[in-house]
């Protein structure tokens, strides 16, 4: 297995569909498929997908040398509350870390808001005597005499799993370790998650939540991963299975079973990995990835070929898409902004006569009115149909008939009538509103990251991304878009470009002036060793690389800035470079530095990676595309507000260098690329479609 | 070309997005912990007549209306035709900006096609303005620090360096203040750039049509919400702890056909300590509370705010006049929602929650004055803890949760990393939530000591120590707040020394209950007992539980 992979399989199990991609050594996609997800036994759906791509490309299980898997199973178990019965153990005097949280309402004006359910009720929140201080010194020893009572309380509570989170355990985990060992000895069947392994960062509420979430899905995921392995082995698969993580790397089944929380949101991460790779292949340093599907749109900033990462996200929000209404999970993740705007998002008119779109979604059942499966509320897709942007005959390879009349009726009834607009105006209104909300979310995300959108290349994929890309780009001030090949299964393709990697972020507070280099080097060595062990297991024999980061801020500020460190032990002379690096980045984000202000470091990270698969070569095709004799259809042009003839062409019929002026629709099995009237499409040698806004349109 | 309604709506959404972006940028760059943890800032966009079109939804309600009124005041003082591109105006006058000296307001004219078409404005809380600092001890506004009257901070892009030097020279935190003022400037400029860009993108030359659309739509929606309320005048009196003697706050809420009038007549006079409240700030909290129930779905702007009118006799503690000290105006400001809800509950009894802890338990801790000579660690820490909110008509109150402020509580691990203190307990106070058909939220119990053998200075300005949150419609009161230090019980306000080794214990108040406790669903009561939120004893005594 040290040889270069010859045939690689990726399977992304989503909520509705399971996407499967088979790729050869030259990164040529041999086959893809979208099959319905089988929620009762997700591994079966995955198996069907794999069998289909193997069959259609004439390959066998034994030829597969790499298998990367991502699944929403972990995420869904958390959202749908289908996990284990968990108890928590915190320090004496701190039973209510969950309930107290940040003492905050997530919505300013909502008198009747309800806080999110954080899995462990107070009756199952136990405490134990013992305390570390911020430097990891023991203030009070762990009260081992309390163990028998604790054990019987856990038995009485009938729990499957325990989350242990003790104050300052990131600085000294001794009490957590000892408590775990004692509990495991007394209750061997009990699953125990300890906070210093799951999320070794300061802030007890976030760390406890993360540890609880991990414990909650651990039994379920361990079972699933065991089943998956035996099912695929029985078919003849003899390469290891690697799991996609939220951080955009791959990890082994063992690590996945131990830290299943790292597996959440791995599907969207695959999309960002794909976009980062396309950015590198096309040498685009400032990129926004735009992944729009049936229920949500996800945006990710990609700078210098690296997807932006974060250390925290939220799951199971009490109010969909409202920040702060969910359960925080603090692990390394590819940072994405997700908004309730997909093809199935429902449009309505509020009491002030304003059009609203989402976050309520018609999902896949009943789906948009146009799908004829009983949906009566107008959706974004219905508005697209009413504007002529979806070719009724070719949608989903003709497997799903589009009922244009039903779409128009829904738009007229629920939007047009209330605002005295005709169908076309109402449909365009719906589009305008959803477009603005996606563009605003992107701008806001850029501002929060201290970045700008206008100079970026948008990489659009997902079932609805290519259809909405030009509209969103125009409102976000973006003038260039790339639509990759196989955009409908972008996440699964991205899996095949991910490296085996593992990242650890750990808290260790110091001011820059007081930084003890020797101490810090020992701290880093321990972290690096831990991460290397995990990666080595998934990539034996590979040359591993390290990336080290410090999270720094001016004393008194709340926002930390990520500063790269050299990949070696630090010397006292590096401290000045750290200061310079911080000031340069601060000044890039805030246009000035603050001389005389103390600089502090809160967290440190080590990411260990095996190499990513090599870049694919361009594969020029010859021939010309005849753009004059193309089929035409009527579409509502959003630039002029008038109906116009748009060219319709199969993506497969395009040849390298072909240029199509908007308005035009480029169709393919899983999506349609809409070339707006103010854009021109070009196909490059790798098969990517480029959409460029015409310069005269930029006033 | 007339603008279609959906196009106007897209532009309205854009303005709302722009102010949020401005707000985020300001919070990111801010140095003041209260800005970082509470989002104590504001950002807004105004038309040429000074009418507010959009305002960021930020952490604390203290800027609602205050900013809208402040821009009107500045517009009246500085004629638009004398303004130049790149000008920025500034003031921290509590009676113009936001009720105390720490809040700085900046306003910038926005130029498009060579003329002023509107304004952007923002407010942020600066760390220190000299004087006696943040605390109620000042005898008048002059004791409280530096007041900058409305002035031009930036002229055609050139900053007035003398003014900046004055602000720095009068502060214990000059670097942070300078940083915060630059952040405000950047916020104004970003808003102006984005507004001008939007006008280009949508090919409009002025904001008139858009402004009328936003204001008319919002005013109509708000008036419809008011029209649905029963008409009449409703009175309430709320007794609060005050500095050293109780204070009665009076309100009369008149619900008319198309507007509301809130009148503070009867409210006690100002006191000698800095807990007096300028009317702009009392109005902000009062209107916030009303808008939570009346048309909360409509964004803040000149149209949605106009129907809410607030008045009070000059010199009463909710309409303090200069030079009254006002540094801690938020202590009573945060009590005005309970005052107003007492009126509104008579009109719509099934929509208004019971009284809550309301005033946050703000806990500024600092090293002692002789720290340097004694070799103590020098630090300044501002912890915020909250009590329980009042029971809602159909839901229990929220335990240990801020309302009306949007402040964030702190984390023990972060606190212990940045200051020499140890927190040895932080748990909910059993039985502190007022009993009722729906129960009040619980307060919390916090114990804190110095991590090293050194004394600490504590500055208190909290409420509900002597006057707990009242229940509504037969619900019982929440537990009162309690602060002890070693074996001393401390009053809610003043300056105290916590001696080395002494434990400071803080018990935050519980929220009041709603409806008779006997009517509480028995399963809900059992659940509270199982979860340890209500004791068996209390269940028997207050809920008549016979199990």
Instruction: Render A13-34 in DSSP notation, one character per residue.
Output: E-SSEEEEEEEETT--EEEEEE
pLDDT at A208 over 70: yes
Average pLDDT over residues A70-91: 91
**H or E stretch covering A538:** helix A517-538
Average pLDDT over residues B217-224: 96
Average pLDDT over residues B203-224: 96
CA distance A121 to B417: 29
Question: B541 — contact with chain A (CB < 8 Å)?
Answer: no
Question: B129 — contact with chain A (CB < 8 Å)?
Answer: no
Interface test with A, best of B412, B428, B449, B507 (most A CBs within 10 A): B412
What is the least distance, in Å, from the CA of B547 to any CA of chain A?
A: 19
The mean-pLDDT minimum among A144-148, A353-357, B334-338, B477-481 falls in A353-357
CB A169 within 8 A of CB A194: yes
Burial label for B300, CB within 10 Å (0-12, 13-18, 19+), is: buried
In terms of pLDDT, which residue wins out, A204 or B201?
A204
Residues of chain A in contact with residue B530, where contact means CB-CB under 8 angstroms, are: 123
Name the band, by pLDDT with cuts 50, 70 and 90, for residue B401: very high
Share of chain B above pLDDT 90, in %: 80
* B413–A167 C-beta distance less than 8 A: yes
Name the band, by pLDDT with cuts 50, 70 and 90, for residue A698: very low
Q: What do you get for the CA distance between the two ends of chain A, in Å?
A: 56
The single residue listed with the structure tokens 């006292």 is A572
What is the least distance, in Å, from the CA of B26 to any CA of chain A?
A: 10
Residues of chain B in contact with residue A204, where contact means CB-CB under 8 angstroms, are: 411-413
pLDDT at A38: 82
- Nearest CA to A154 out of A176, A125, A134, A179 is that of A125
* A103–B386 C-beta distance less than 8 A: yes
Residues of chain B in contact with residue A591, where contact means CB-CB under 8 angstroms, are: 186
The b-or-e profile of B301-323 (16+ CB within 10 A means b, else e) is: bbbbbbbbebebeeebbbbbeee
pLDDT at A586 over 60: yes
Q: Which of A115, A477, A594 sits opposite B398 (nearest CB)?
A: A115
**H or E stretch covering B42:** strand B41-47
Cα angle for residues A563, A242, A307 (degrees, 5° grid): 30
The mean pLDDT of chain A is 90
Question: B42 — contact with chain A (CB < 8 Å)?
Answer: no
pLDDT at A76: 84
What is the least distance, in Å, from the CA of B248 to any CA of chain A?
A: 26
- Nearest CA to A273 out of A501, A472, A512, A431 is that of A501
CA distance A109 to B291: 7
Burial label for A451, CB within 10 Å (0-12, 13-18, 19+), is: middle
The pair of structure tokens assigned to B86 is 């790149």
pLDDT at A432 over 50: yes
pLDDT at B398: 98
pLDDT at B436 over 80: yes
pLDDT at A246 over 90: yes
Average pLDDT over residues B388-410: 94
* B61–A108 C-beta distance less than 8 A: yes
* A440–B13 C-beta distance less than 8 A: yes
Burial label for B49, CB within 10 Å (0-12, 13-18, 19+), is: middle
**What number of CA atoms fall less than 13 Å from residue B110's CA on the CB side?**
29
The torsion angles phi and psi of B200, rounded to 5 degrees, stand at -65, -50
Give pLDDT tens digits for B93-103.
999 999 999 99
Query: Any idea where the domains of chain A sit in the sequence?
Result: 7-78+222-263, 83-210, 345-432, 501-609, 631-698
**H or E stretch covering A574:** helix A574-590
pLDDT at B350: 97
CB A422 within 8 A of CB A416: yes
Report chain B's C-alpha Rg in angstroms. Answer: 24
What is the least distance, in Å, from the CA of B353 to any CA of chain A?
A: 8
Residues of chain B in contact with residue A203, where contact means CB-CB under 8 angstroms, are: 411, 413-414
User: Any residues with CB less than 8 A from the CB of A688 and at least 6 apart, and which?
Assistant: A278, A282, A482, A483, A484, A485
pLDDT at A618: 62
Query: β-pairing, A161-164 with A86-91?
Result: parallel
The mean pLDDT of chain B is 93
* A168–B426 C-beta distance less than 8 A: no
**CATH class name, domain A7-78+222-263:** alpha beta
Residue of chain A minimizing CA distance to B126 = A556
Give pLDDT tens digits for B253-297.
999 999 999 999 999 999 999 999 999 999 999 999 999 999 999
* A202–B444 C-beta distance less than 8 A: no
Residues of chain A in contact with residue B36, where contact means CB-CB under 8 angstroms, are: 557-559
The torsion angles phi and psi of A518, rounded to 5 degrees, stand at -65, -45
3-state class (DSSP) for residue B418: helix
CA distance B382 to B368: 15
- Nearest CA to B532 out of B447, B445, B429, B438 is that of B429
* B57–A108 C-beta distance less than 8 A: yes
The torsion angles phi and psi of B234, rounded to 5 degrees, stand at -125, 130
Name the band, by pLDDT with cuts 50, 70 and 90, for residue B417: confident
The pair of structure tokens assigned to B450 is 């110095």
Average pLDDT over residues A50-65: 93
Most confident of A34-48, B13-27, B124-138, B200-214: B200-214
Q: Which of A93, A109, A440 sits opposite B425 (nearest CB)?
A: A93
Question: B227 — contact with chain A (CB < 8 Å)?
Answer: no
- Nearest CA to A481 out of A465, A493, A497, A492 is that of A465
Question: B residues 148-207 near A, CB within 8 Å?
Answer: 175-176, 178-179, 182-183, 186, 197, 200
pLDDT at A506 over 70: yes
Question: B residues 64-83 near A, CB within 8 Å?
Answer: none
Share of chain A above pLDDT 90, in %: 66
Sort residue B145 into left (φ over 0), alpha (ψ -120 to 50) or beta: left
pLDDT at A220: 93
pLDDT at A360: 85
Q: Which of A95, A444, A591 sits opposite B20 (nearest CB)?
A: A444
* B411–A93 C-beta distance less than 8 A: no
What distances in angstroms separate CA A169 from CA A76, A567, B61, one per listed residue?
Answer: 29, 26, 37
Q: Which of A123, A133, A355 sits opposite B9 (nearest CB)?
A: A355
pLDDT at A338: 86
User: Any residues with CB less than 8 A from the CB of B245 and at least 6 apart, and which?
Assistant: none
Question: B228 — contact with chain A (CB < 8 Å)?
Answer: no
Query: Any idea where the domains of chain B sit in the sequence?
Result: 5-219, 353-547
Own/partner contacts of B240-244, CB < 8 Å, gap of 24 or more, are: B240/B332, B240/B335, B240/B463, B240/B464, B240/B467, B241/B463, B241/B464, B241/B465, B241/B466, B241/B467, B241/B492, B241/B493, B242/B271, B242/B275, B243/B136, B243/B271, B243/B272, B243/B273, B243/B275, B243/B493, B244/B491, B244/B493
* B220–A168 C-beta distance less than 8 A: no
What distances in angstroms separate CA B309 from CA B80, B301, B306, B329, one per listed residue?
Answer: 27, 14, 7, 20
Residue of chain A minimizing CA distance to B38 = A104
**H or E stretch covering B362:** strand B361-367
The torsion angles phi and psi of B353, rounded to 5 degrees, stand at -70, 165
Question: B2 — contact with chain A (CB < 8 Å)?
Answer: no
How many separate helices (H) and strands (E) can be counted in chain A? Answer: 17, 35
* A115–B531 C-beta distance less than 8 A: no
Helices of type H across A449-508: 465-476, 490-495
What is the least distance, in Å, from the CA of B204 to any CA of chain A?
A: 13
- Nearest CA to B287 out of B503, B52, B519, B7 is that of B52
Residues of chain B in contact with residue A422, where contact means CB-CB under 8 angstroms, are: none
CA distance A279 to B17: 28
* B532–A103 C-beta distance less than 8 A: no
Interface test with B, best of A101, A111, A431 (most B CBs within 10 A): A111
pLDDT at A2: 42
pLDDT at A398: 67
Q: What do you get for the CA distance between the two ends of chain B, in Å?
A: 74
Query: Quick one: three-class SS letters along B75-140?
Result: HHHCCHHHCCCCCEEEECCCCCCCCCCCEEEEEEEEEECCEEEEEEEEEEECCCCCCCCCCCCCCC
A-B contacts (CB, under 8 Å): 198
Determine whether domain A83-210 maps to CATH 3.40.50: yes
Residues of chain A in contact with residue B221, where contact means CB-CB under 8 angstroms, are: 351-352
pLDDT at A591 over 80: no
CA distance A484 to A12: 18
Residue of chain A minimizing CA distance to B61 = A108
The count of other CB atoms within 10 Å of the CB of residue B449 is 16
* A421–B221 C-beta distance less than 8 A: no
pLDDT at A396: 67
pLDDT at A625: 59
User: Any residues with CB less than 8 A from the CB of A416 and at least 6 apart, and which?
Assistant: A422, A423, A425, A426
* A590–B29 C-beta distance less than 8 A: yes
Question: B residues 333-392 near A, CB within 8 Å?
Answer: 353, 384-386, 392
Interface test with A, best of B1, B2, B10, B284 (most A CBs within 10 A): B10
Most confident of A102-106, A439-443, A503-507, B468-472: B468-472
The gap from C-alpha B276 to its chain's centroid, in whole angstroms, comes to 15
Share of chain A above pLDDT 70, in %: 95
Average pLDDT over residues B88-114: 96
The b-or-e profile of B226-252 (16+ CB within 10 A means b, else e) is: beebeeeebebebebbbbeeebebbbb
- Nearest CA to B58 out of B30, B27, B32 is that of B27
User: Any residues with CB less than 8 A from the CB of B211 and at least 6 apart, and which?
Assistant: B47, B49, B51, B53
The single residue listed with the structure tokens 């990726």 is A10
Question: B residues 472-531 near A, CB within 8 Å?
Answer: 530-531
CB A190 within 8 A of CB A181: no
Residues of chain A in contact with residue B394, where contact means CB-CB under 8 angstroms, are: 112
Interface test with A, best of B411, B424, B446 (most A CBs within 10 A): B411
- Nearest CA to A119 out of A74, A168, A79, A169 is that of A79
Question: B220 — contact with chain A (CB < 8 Å)?
Answer: yes
Name the band, by pLDDT with cuts 50, 70 and 90, for residue A588: confident
Question: B221 — contact with chain A (CB < 8 Å)?
Answer: yes
Name the band, by pLDDT with cuts 50, 70 and 90, for residue B3: low
Residue of chain B minimizing CA distance to A441 = B17
pLDDT at B312 over 60: yes
């Amino acid at each position: 297995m040290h040889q270069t992979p010859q045939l690689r399989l990726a399977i992304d199990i989503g909520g509705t569909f399971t996407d499967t991609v088979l790729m050869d050594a030259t990164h040529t996609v041999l086959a893809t498929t979208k099959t319905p997800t089988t929620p009762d036994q997700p591994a079966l759906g995955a198996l069907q997908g794999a069998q289909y791509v193997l069959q259609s490309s004439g390959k066998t299980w034994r030829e597969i040398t790499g298998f990367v898997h991502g699944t929403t199973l972990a995420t869904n178990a958390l959202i749908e509350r289908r996990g284990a019965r968990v108890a928590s153990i915190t320090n004496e005097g701190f039973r209510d870390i969950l309930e107290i949280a940040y003492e905050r309402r997530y919505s300013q004006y909502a008198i009747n808001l309800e806080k999110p359910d954080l899995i462990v009720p107070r009756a199952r929140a136990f405490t134990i005597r013992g305390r570390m201080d911020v430097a990891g010194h023991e203030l009070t020893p762990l009260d081992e005499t309390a163990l028998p009572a604790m054990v019987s309380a856990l038995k009485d509570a009938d729990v499957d799993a325990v989350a242990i989170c003790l104050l300052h355990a990131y600085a000294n985990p001794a009490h957590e370790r000892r408590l775990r060992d004692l509990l495991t000895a007394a209750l061997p069947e009990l699953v125990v998650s300890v906070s210093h392994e799951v999320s070794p960062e300061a802030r007890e509420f976030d760390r406890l939540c993360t540890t609880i979430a991990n414990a909650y899905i651990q039994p379920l995921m361990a079972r699933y991963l065991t089943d998956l392995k035996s099912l695929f082995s029985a078919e003849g698969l003899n390469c290891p299975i690697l799991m996609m993580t939220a951080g955009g790397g791959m990890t082994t089944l063992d690590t996945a079973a131990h830290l299943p929380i790292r597996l959440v949101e791995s599907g969207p991460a695959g999309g960002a990995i794909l976009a980062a790779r396309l950015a590198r292949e096309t040498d685009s340093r400032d990129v926004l990835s735009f992944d729009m599907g049936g229920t949500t749109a996800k945006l990710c900033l990609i700078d210098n070929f690296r997807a932006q990462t974060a250390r925290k996200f939220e799951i199971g929000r009490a109010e969909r898409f409202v920040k702060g209404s969910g359960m925080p999970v603090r692990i390394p993740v590819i940072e994405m902004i997700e908004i309730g705007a997909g093809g199935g998002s429902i449009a309505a008119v509020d009491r002030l006569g304003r059009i609203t779109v989402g976050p309520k979604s018609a999902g896949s059942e009943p789906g948009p009115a146009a799908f004829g499966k009983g949906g009566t509320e107008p959706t974004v897709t219905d508005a697209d149909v009413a504007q002529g942007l979806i070719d009724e005959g070719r949608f989903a390879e003709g497997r799903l008939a589009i009922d244009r009349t039903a779409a128009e009726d829904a738009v007229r009834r629920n939007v047009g009538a209330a605002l005295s607009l005709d169908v076309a105006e109402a449909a365009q209104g719906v589009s305008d509103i959803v477009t603005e909300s996606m563009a605003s979310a992107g701008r806001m995300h850029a501002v929060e990251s201290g970045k700008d959108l206008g100079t970026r290349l948008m990489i659009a994929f997902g079932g609805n991304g290519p259809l909405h890309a030009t509209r969103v780009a125009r409102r976000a001030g973006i003038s260039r878009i790339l639509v990759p090949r196989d955009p409908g299964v972008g996440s699964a393709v991205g899996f095949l470009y991910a490296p085996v990697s593992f990242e650890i972020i750990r808290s260790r507070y110091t001011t820059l002036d007081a930084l003890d280099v020797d101490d810090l080097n020992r701290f880093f060595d321990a972290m690096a060793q831990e991460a290397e062990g995990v990666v080595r297991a998934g990539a034996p024999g590979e040359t591993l690389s390290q990336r080290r980061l410090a999270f720094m801020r001016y004393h008194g500020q709340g926002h930390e800035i990520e500063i790269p460190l050299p990949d070696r032990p630090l010397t006292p002379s590096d401290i000045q470079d750290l200061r310079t690096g911080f000031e340069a980045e601060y000044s890039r984000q805030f246009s000035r530095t603050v001389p005389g202000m103390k600089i502090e470091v809160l967290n440190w990270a080590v990411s260990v990676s095996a190499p990513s698969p090599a870049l694919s070569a361009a594969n020029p095709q010859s021939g010309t595309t005849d753009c004059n004799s193309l089929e035409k259809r009527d579409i509502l042009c959003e630039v002029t507000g008038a109906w116009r003839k748009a060219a319709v062409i199969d993506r497969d019929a395009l040849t390298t260098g072909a240029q199509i002026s908007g308005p035009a629709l480029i169709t393919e099995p899983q999506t349609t690329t809409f070339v707006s009237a103010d854009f021109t499409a070009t196909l490059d040698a790798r098969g990517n479609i480029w959409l460029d806004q015409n310069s005269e349109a930029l006033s | 070309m007339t603008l279609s309604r959906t196009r106007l709506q897209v532009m309205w959404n854009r303005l709302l997005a722009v102010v949020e972006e401005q707000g985020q940028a300001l919070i990111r760059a801010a140095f003041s912990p209260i800005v970082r943890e509470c989002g104590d800032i504001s950002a807004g966009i105004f038309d040429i007549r000074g009418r507010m079109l959009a305002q960021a939804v930020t952490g604390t309600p203290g800027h609602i209306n205050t900013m809208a009124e402040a821009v009107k005041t500045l517009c009246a003082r500085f004629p638009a035709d004398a303004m130049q591109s790149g000008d920025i105006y500034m003031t921290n006058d509590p009676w113009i900006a936001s009720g105390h000296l720490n809040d700085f307001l900046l306003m910038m004219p926005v130029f498009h096609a060579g003329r002023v078409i509107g304004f952007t404005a923002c407010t942020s809380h600066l760390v220190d303005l000299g004087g006696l600092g943040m605390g109620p001890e000042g005898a008048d506004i002059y004791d409280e620090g530096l007041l900058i009257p409305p002035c031009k901070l930036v002229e055609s892009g050139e900053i007035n360096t003398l003014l900046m030097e004055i602000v720095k020279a009068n502060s214990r935190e000059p670097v942070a203040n300078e940083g915060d003022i630059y952040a405000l400037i950047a916020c104004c400029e970003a808003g102006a750039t984005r507004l001008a860009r939007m006008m280009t993108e949508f090919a409009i030359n002025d904001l008139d049509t858009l402004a009328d659309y936003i204001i008319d739509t919002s005013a109509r929606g708000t008036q419809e919400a008011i029209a649905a309320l029963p008409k009449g005048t409703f009175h309430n009196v709320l007794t609060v702890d005050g500095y050293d003697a109780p204070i009665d706050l009076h309100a009369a809420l008149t619900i008319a056909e198309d507007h509301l009038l809130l009148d503070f007549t009867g409210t006690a006079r100002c006191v000698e300590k800095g807990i007096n409240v300028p009317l702009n700030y009392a109005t902000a909290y009062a209107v916030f509370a009303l808008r939570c129930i009346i048309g909360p779905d409509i964004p803040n702007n000149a149209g949605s705010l106009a129907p809410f009118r607030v008045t009070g006799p000059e010199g009463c503690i909710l309409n303090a006049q200069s030079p009254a000290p006002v540094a801690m105006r938020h202590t009573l400001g945060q009590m005005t929602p309970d005052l107003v809800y007492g009126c509104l509950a008579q009109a719509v009894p099934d929509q208004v929650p019971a009284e809550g802890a309301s005033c946050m338990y703000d806990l500024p801790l600092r090293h002692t004055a002789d720290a340097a000579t004694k070799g103590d660690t020098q630090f300044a820490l501002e912890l915020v803890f909250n009590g329980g909110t009042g029971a809602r008509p159909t839901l229990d109150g929220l335990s240990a949760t801020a309302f009306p402020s949007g402040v964030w509580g702190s984390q023990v691990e972060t606190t212990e990393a940045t200051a020499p203190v140890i927190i040895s307990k932080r748990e909910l106070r059993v039985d502190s939530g007022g009993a009722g058909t729906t129960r009040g939220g619980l307060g919390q119990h916090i114990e804190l000591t110095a991590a090293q053998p050194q004394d600490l200075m504590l500055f208190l300005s909290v409420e509900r120590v002597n006057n707990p949150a009242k229940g509504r419609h037969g619900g019982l009161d929440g537990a009162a707040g309690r602060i002890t230090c070693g074996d001393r019980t401390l009053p809610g306000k003043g300056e105290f020394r916590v001696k080395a080794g002494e434990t400071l214990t803080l018990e935050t108040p519980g929220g009041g209950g709603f409806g008779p406790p006997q009517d509480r669903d028995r399963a809900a009561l059992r659940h509270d007992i199982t979860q340890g939120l209500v004791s068996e004893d209390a269940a028997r005594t207050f809920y008549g539980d016979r199990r």
